[in-house]
Amino acid sequence: MTAQTLYPAERGNLRLSFEYFPPKTDEMEAQLFQTADDLSAFGPAFITVTYGAGGSTKARSLTTVRRLIAESGFANTAAHLTCVGAPKAEVDAVIDEYLSFGVRHFVALRGDPQGGIGSTYQPHPEGYASSTDLVRAIRARGDDIEISVSSYPEKHPESPDVAADIDMLKRKVDAGATRALTQFFFDNNDFERYLERVRRAGVNIPIVPGILPINNLAQVQKFAGLCGATVPEAIVTRLVHLEDQPVERFKEATHIAAEQIVDLARRGVRDFHIYSMNRTPLVTAVLDLVGFERASVEAVGAIDAPRMVAAGAAA
C-alpha cells in the first residue's frame, strides 16, 4: 500500500486512546510523561495506565495515575485494575484510592496467573474470582463510572474457543462494563469476524481495536505467542530483512500500522486504542501518516476527538 492510499475518502471523526505502563526508573518516568504530553496533541478521548499481575506495579500505577491527573492535567486517565492474587479488601481499597483522586474510568481485568502466562489461574481464596466480579464491584461505586474490559479477536489463550470468550464478555457487560478494548491483532479480517459474532450474541457495547505499532519484531512475536495473537507471515516478511536497517524498518513499521488503521476506518471503525509502549516516535509517525490532525499547543486538552484532515495535508 502506498502513501497516497492512506487517506480515507470520508472525513468523519475518529477517536483515539493511548495505553501507557508505569515506569520503573526515573529515566523511564520522564519518558512516560514526555510521551503522554507529546501524544496529547492528537486529542485522545482517554488514556490508560496498566497495573501489573498480582498488583506487582500497584504503587507505581497509583502514583502515575495520580500525577497524570493532578500534575499533568489528564483528567481523562483510566486506571487498569486486576483482581488476581489479592483479597477483596485490598482491591476495594485500591478502587477507593483511585476514586479519591478523580478516576472515573477503570479498565477491569482478571490479570495473568501468578505463575505466569500458561500456568493455571487460581482465584485468591478471599478475592474476586473473575473480572466479572471485579466489574460488579466497581459498578457498585456509581452508575457514572466508565468500565472498560478486555476482549480477544483471536480468543484468550485459556479459552477453549471464541464462543467461550464471547460468553465471558457478555457476563462482563451484564455486570456493568461499558466498553471493550481488544488484545492487539494484525489481521483486520479476524477483528471483523469477531465483531460480527459479538453483535450476533447481543453484545452492543463499543468494541475498540487495540493497535500495536511494531517497534521490535522479535519482541512482538514473543509477546504474541504468549497471549494468543498472531503476527501474519506477510508482516514478518516486510520487516525481518530490515533488522539492520533502522531507518527503513521504522518506515515500514509506520506503513504497516497506518494501513491497518485506515483499513479499519474504511470498514466503519471509529475508535482506536493504541498500545504506545511509552514511546512517541513510531506512534506519532503512524498517526501523521494516517492523517490525524494535531492540535496547536494552546488547544491541547480542550479537544474532544481528533479529526481526519484532507488528503494530501499530511506529509
Task: Identify the burial level of 2 via C-beta atoms within 10 angstroms of its C-beta, where 0-12 means exposed, 13-18 middle and 19 or more buried.
Answer: exposed
Contact predicate 276/35, CB 8 Å: yes
Contact predicate 28/278, CB 8 Å: yes
Nearest to 77 by CA among 33, 25, 132, 135: 33
- How is residue 24 written as a grid cell? 520503573
- How is residue 41 written as a grid cell? 496533541
Is 19 considered catalytic here? Answer: yes
Among candidate residues 19, 192, 233, 252, the one labeled active-site is: 19
The helix/strand count (H/E) of the chain reads as: 10, 8
Contact predicate 110/70, CB 8 Å: no
**Helix extents (H) in 158-215:** 162-175, 188-200
Contact predicate 209/269, CB 8 Å: yes
- How is residue 308 written as a grid cell? 481526519
Which residue numbers are catalytic? 19
